[in-house]
A and B are shown apart, each in its own frame.
Chain A
Amino acid sequence: MDDLVITPSVLEKAKQHIEDALIKAGVHTVLLIDDAGNVVANCGRSGSGFDTTALAALAAANFGATSQIARLIGEEDFTLLFHRGKKDSIHFAKVGNRLILITIFGEEISLGLVRLRVAQLTKTIEKIFNLDN
C-alpha cells in the first residue's frame, strides 16, 4: 500500500467541492479520511466539540469491519453506511479504495439529498485524488 501524499492544490480543490456540494446544502461537518484513520480534510462547522482524530480512527475501523461483514455474506463491499441519531446523523461513503467521506448532518437536511450529493461528490474527489478503483 503506497503512502498518500496530499498537495495543497489537491486539498484545496477537494475542500472547495465539499463546501459547494454539502456545506452550502446545510450539512454541518464533513471529514475526508484515509482508510488508515487519518484526517485528510475537515470542512464545515469548526470546533464542533468532538474529537476528529478519534472519529476518523473509529470510522475507518467501522468501515473495515463492515467490509468484512459484507464479505461474510457474499457481498464484495458495502459502499455506504448510515447511522441515524436523534438530532444528528452520520453518513459514510467510500471514495475510491483509499478514502472515506464522513458527512454529519442535522434534521434540517434530508438523507436523500445527502446521498445524492455524496454520490456525485465521491466521483469528483476520486478524480481529484486520481484514485484507482
Chain B
Amino acid sequence: MALIDLSRKEVHCKIVYYGPGRGGKTTNLLYIYNAMSQGVRGKMLTIETKGDRTLFFDLLPLTLGKINDFDVRIQLYTVPGQTIYEATRKLVLKGVDGVVFVADSLKVRRDKNIESLIDLEKNLDEYGLSIREIPLVLQYNKRDLANSVIPILSVEEMEETLNKQLQVPSFEAAATKGIGVFETLKEISKRTIKYVAKKHLLTDI
C-alpha cells in the first residue's frame, strides 16, 4: 500500500526482504546502508536482536530520485526469518508494495527456502495480495560458498524449486561482499515504482 502525497509531491513505497532465517536479509540492508551516501539514505533502524537474528524488523529509508516531479521514497524492511516468528512476519508485510525473496544457497536450507516461499504466499494472500502480481525478485544468496567445502545448491536447482512457476527475475548474490545486492535493489525498486506509478497514472511508462 503505497502512500501518495500530492501535497509534498512524494511517493512512499515499502519493499520487504523476505526469506528463511539467517539467509542474509539484514546483511543486504547493512551493505546498502554502508554503501549509500548520507543524502540518499536515512538512519537504519534495527530492533533489538537475539544474537545475530532479527527479532522484529530492520528498516532502512532511501530517497531514490524523482519520477514525474514526485520524490520517490522507499522503505526497505526485513522480516525475522525463523519459523516461530510468523505473526511478526505477517505484521511487517502489512502495506507491502514489493518483495525481495532472499533464498539461502546452502544445500541443507533447501526445504527452509521452500517453506518460507509458501509462507510468503500465504501471508500475502491474507492481505489480499497475490504472489504472482506483486513486484517480486528472487536473490540466491551465499553464492561465494561455491568455492568452499560446504555443499550448496546449483542456480538451476534453485530456479527449479523456487522460480519455476513464478518466473520472476533472480540474482546470484554474496551479500557479505556486496555482490548482487545493488542489482537486486535496482530491479525491485524499478518494478515497485513502475507498479505504483502505473496504478496512479503518475507516468505512462
A4 touches B128 (CB 8 A): no
Of the 9-residue stretches B88-96, B143-151, B169-177, which lies at the interface with chain A? B88-96
Question: Measured between alpha carbons, how far is A61 from B3 in the docked complex, in Å?
Answer: 17
Which of chain B's residues have a CB closer than 8 A to the CB of A4? Answer: 1-4
Which of chain A's residues have a CB closer than 8 A to the CB of B4? Answer: 3-6
B61 at the interface (CB under 8 A from A): yes
Q: Which of A5, A60, A61, A68 has the most CB of B within 10 A?
A: A61
B75 touches A57 (CB 8 A): yes
A3 touches B200 (CB 8 A): yes
B14 touches A36 (CB 8 A): yes
Of the 9-residue stretches A7-15, A20-28, A86-94, A118-126, which lies at the interface with chain B? A7-15
Q: How many A-B residue pairs have CB under 8 A?
A: 85
Question: Measured between alpha carbons, how far is A36 from B7 in the docked complex, in Å?
Answer: 19
Question: Measured between alpha carbons, how far is A103 from B61 in the docked complex, in Å?
Answer: 23
B87 touches A35 (CB 8 A): no
B43 at the interface (CB under 8 A from A): yes
A35 touches B200 (CB 8 A): no
- Of residues 81 through 134 on chain B, the ones whose CB sits less than 8 Å from some CB of chain A are 87-88, 91-92, 94-96, 127-129
**CB-nearest residue of chain A to B44:** A54
> How many chain A residues touch B (Cβ–Cβ < 8 Å)?
26
- Of residues 151 through 205 on chain B, the ones whose CB sits less than 8 Å from some CB of chain A are 196, 199-200
B5 touches A54 (CB 8 A): no
- Of residues 55 through 70 on chain B, the ones whose CB sits less than 8 Å from some CB of chain A are 56-57, 59, 61
B43 touches A40 (CB 8 A): no
Question: Measured between alpha carbons, how far is A65 from B86 in the docked complex, in Å?
Answer: 12
Which of chain A's residues have a CB closer than 8 A to the CB of B87? Answer: 65, 68
Question: Measured between alpha carbons, how far is A37 from B13 in the docked complex, in Å?
Answer: 10
Which of chain B's residues have a CB closer than 8 A to the CB of A7? Answer: 6-7
A75 at the interface (CB under 8 A from B): no
**CB-nearest residue of chain A to B129:** A1
